[in-house]
């Protein structure tokens, strides 16, 4: 049995770090497209059109019941098959496209619930009072509702981002070489020798990123909450 080699572990970190650019690219693109989808779904859920509301809630139920890795394979194999019916060939698209599409659907679903619940958590009497003193509906939402909803939503958003960061490691299962994919390649190249050291090196990288995100969240939360009080109307 091979002994644990701490020096080997340290040697793997510089080999893995360059592949963080793909990991961050997946994360940033998913945050962008998933947030847009989340706002659309939240608007449908909060809107007055029952058909759109039912569609949004049906989408939420479907996403909740589908494991991330299953969703990834459904998108990877299902989209090209569906496109072929309409004479479109998606087989030559980058694997990044399928990864971002799958995780954007999942993250958009989560964001829709965060946005919806945060919006409902703010006392609506404040909005009505702002409009009654002369603010436009848009300004009342921007200056009264949105800042308070952002404070409520921020912890859940950060938790969702951390979850997304970890779930993004599944991208290697369809051949996208990010930091997780590179770690698996290093293990395979060494015939699974020192696999523990390589995986621990990978864990240290994920832990470091997660700690940075959490610290940034604390600073942002303090900034958003500074000098702000939440008063419920009677």
pLDDT at residue 230, rounded to an integer: 47
Taking only the tens place, the pLDDT of each residue in 183-225 is 999 999 987 788 999 999 999 999 999 999 999 988 888 887 7
103 — phi, psi (to 5°)?
-75, -25
What is the band of 67 on the pLDDT scale with cuts at 50, 70, 90? very high
Q: Report residue 69 as tokens.
A: 């890795």
In order of 73, 93, 98, 107, 198, the CA distances from 179 in angstroms are 20, 21, 17, 21, 11
- pLDDT score of 124 more than 50: yes
Host H or E run for residue 114: helix 95-121
Structure confidence by residue, pLDDT tens digits, 72-114: 999 999 999 999 998 888 888 999 999 999 999 999 999 999 9
Q: Is the pLDDT of residue 232 over 60?
A: no
- Identify which has the larger pLDDT, 133 or 204: 204
Q: Which residue is it, tokens 């399928």?
A: 98
> Of the ranges 29-33, 46-50, 69-73, 131-135, which one carries the lowest mean pLDDT score?
131-135
Q: What is the DSSP letter of 47?
A: S
CA 7 vs. chain centroid, Å, equals 34
| CA pair distance 118, 152, nearest whole angstrom | 6
Query: Nearest Cα to 175, choosing from 29, 22, 67?
Result: 22
Q: If residue 138 lies in a helix (H) or strand (E), which one and from where to where?
A: helix 137-140
Band (pLDDT 50/70/90 cuts) for residue 117 is very high
Domain boundaries along the sequence of the chain:
6-225
In this prediction the pTM is 0.88
Q: Residue 226's pLDDT is what? A: 66
How far is it, in rounded angstroms, from Cα 135 to Cα 157? 29
CA-wise closest residue to 8 among 181, 200, 177, 188? 200
Q: What is the pLDDT of residue 176?
A: 93
Nearest to 116 by CA among 53, 163, 27: 53
Q: Pick 165 or 229 by higher pLDDT.
A: 165
138 confidence band (pLDDT: 50, 70, 90): confident
Q: What is the pLDDT of residue 228?
A: 56
Instruction: Write the DSSP symbol of residue 228.
Output: -
Does 214 or 131 have the greater pLDDT score? 214
Confidence of residue 127 (pLDDT cuts 50, 70, 90): confident
User: What CA–CA distance (Å, rounded) separates 124 from 25?
Assistant: 38
Q: What is the C-alpha to C-alpha distance for residues 179 and 187, in angstroms, rounded to an integer?
A: 13
Q: In the CATH scheme, what is the homologous superfamily, with its name and number, of domain 6-225?
A: MetI-like (1.10.3720.10)
Rounded CA separation 230/147 (Å): 11
Q: Give 233's pLDDT tier (boundaries 50, 70, 90).
A: very low
């Amino acid at each position: 049995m091979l002994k644990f080699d701490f020096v080997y572990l340290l040697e793997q970190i510089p080999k893995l770090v360059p592949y963080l650019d793909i990991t961050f690219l997946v994360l940033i693109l998913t945050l962008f497209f998933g947030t847009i989808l989340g706002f659309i779904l939240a608007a449908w859920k909060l809107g007055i059109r029952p058909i759109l509301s039912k569609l949004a809630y049906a989408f939420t139920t479907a996403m909740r019941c589908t494991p991330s890795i299953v969703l990834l394979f459904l998108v990877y194999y299902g989209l090209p098959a569906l496109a072929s019916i309409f004479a479109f060939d998606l087989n030559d698209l980058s694997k990044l496209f399928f990864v971002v599409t799958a995780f954007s659907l999942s993250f958009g679903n989560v964001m829709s619930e965060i946005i919806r619940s945060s919006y409902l958590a703010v006392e609506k009497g404040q909005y009505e009072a702002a409009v009654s003193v002369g603010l436009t509906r848009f300004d009342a939402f921007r200056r009264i509702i949105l800042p308070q909803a952002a404070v409520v939503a921020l912890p859940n958003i950060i938790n969702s981002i951390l979850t997304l960061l970890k779930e993004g490691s599944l991208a290697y299962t369809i051949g996208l070489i990010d930091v997780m994919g590179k770690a698996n390649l290093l293990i395979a190249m060494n015939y699974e020798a020192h696999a523990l050291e390589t995986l621990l090196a990978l864990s240290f990288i994920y832990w470091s990123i997660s700690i940075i995100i959490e610290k940034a969240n604390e600073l942002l939360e303090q900034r958003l909450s500074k000098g702000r009080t939440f008063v419920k109307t009677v």
